Amino acid sequence: MVAEDTIEPVIGVIGGSGLYEIDGLENREWRRCESPWGKPSDELLFGTLEGVRCVFLPRHGRGHPIPPSHLNYRANIDALKRAGVTDIISLSAVGSLKEDLAPGHFVLVDQFIDLTQGRPRTFFEEGCVAHVAMGEPVSARMAKTLAEEAEKLDISVTKGGTYVVIEGPQFSTRAESELYRSWGASVIGMTNMPEARLAREAEMNYATVAMVTDYDCWHEEHEHVTVEAVIRTMKSNSTHARELVRRAIPALGKPRPICTGPGAAERALDNAIITPP
């Protein structure tokens, strides 16, 4: 028996470049999922891990056919919501904006700066106006668990940091990279917005594991970011990412009360809808 105010979490995993599977998944089944927002990036992989229900979505589709600007973020988040997901682990390849965040390092970011342009970023477009809080975009509970599990696996990990989300698909100019560094940002990528905003609107907890693949282009002693360099490091990162997901799912999947701490999303709409009923 589960008490009424207890949640049995369903863990969603959005796999970034280089991550297309969950190790140890049982009762696996790829299923096509519909969404009124259009087509998600791919079928969803359903299964259980140590009894915890989980759902995997390859962000760019299997084989990486969809670039960041063309992802249907709303369909992806909506499909995960309809699949029952309560907590999303977002795995993302990023460039580093800080000397001490070397390629291979993982960062449990807690903030975003959204520089994306023209991506549909809300479910509340017509008829119903909602303004959800985004001051703490990441679930502190999830980030803490992910950091603990990473440390147990001897993955070099930093807790906290700001992720600059650029539109891409080109990497940044050096002046842009230096500007983001002057803002104190930690990492740079192209995919976590509007993903994190939409997860909040859908009342799903969200945490990013940012996996550093390169030093962006500001670093004078390192080769400038190239796809080849990114892919090389991504391969070694993906081994760590798979181990981390394998352990984090059972840790995050224990029945728990509704979350109310920093970055919790489960009641995000309670005080957000401005349209009269």
Judged by the rule CB under 6 A, the positions of this chain that interact with ligand ADE are 93-95, 166, 171, 188-190, 213-214, 216, 225, 230
Q: How far is the CB of 37 from ligand ADE (least distance, A)?
A: 25
Pick the closer one to ligand ADE by CB: 15 or 95.
95
Q: How far is the CB of 216 from ligand ADE (least distance, A)?
A: 4
Q: Provide the β-strand partners of residue 89.
A: 13, 207
Q: How far is the CB of 192 from ligand ADE (least distance, A)?
A: 10
Pick the closer one to ligand ADE by CB: 226 or 239.
226
**Alpha-helix residue ranges (DSSP H) falling in 202-226:** none
Q: How far is the CB of 212 from ligand ADE (least distance, A)?
A: 8
| Residue 77 token pair | 């988040």
Pick the closer one to ligand ADE by CB: 18 or 263.
18
Q: Provide the β-strand partners of residue 247.
A: none
| Residue 113 token pair | 């700066």
Q: How far is the CB of 229 from ligand ADE (least distance, A)?
A: 9
> How many Å apart are CA 256 and CA 266, to the nearest integer?
12
Cis-peptide into 169, omega within 30 deg: yes
Give the residue from 264, 119, 153, 122 showing the smallest Cα distance to 205. 264
Pick the closer one to ligand ADE by CB: 68 or 253.
68
Give the residue from 265, 269, 273, 274 showing the smallest Cα distance to 12. 265
The SS3 assignment for 203 reads: coil
Q: Which amino acid is at 254?
A: K
Longest dimension (CA), the chain: 59
161: phi > 0 → left, psi -120 to 50 → alpha, else beta; which? left
Catalytic residue among 5, 23, 214, 270: 214
For the question of residue 100 being annotated catalytic, the response is no
Q: Is 260 exposed, middle or buried (0-12, 13-18, 19+ CB in 10 A)?
A: exposed
For the question of residue 214 being annotated catalytic, the response is yes
Q: How far is the CB of 87 from ligand ADE (least distance, A)?
A: 24
User: Judging by DSSP bridges, how do beta strands 44-49 and 26-31 pair with one another?
Assistant: antiparallel
Catalytic residue among 78, 87, 114, 216: 216
User: What Å distances lie between residue 203 and 129, 135, 216, CA to CA?
Assistant: 16, 15, 33
Pick the closer one to ligand ADE by CB: 167 or 266.
167
Pick the closer one to ligand ADE by CB: 101 or 225.
225
Instruction: Tell me which residue has its CB nearest to ligand ADE.
Output: 95
- Kindly list the catalytic residues: 214, 216
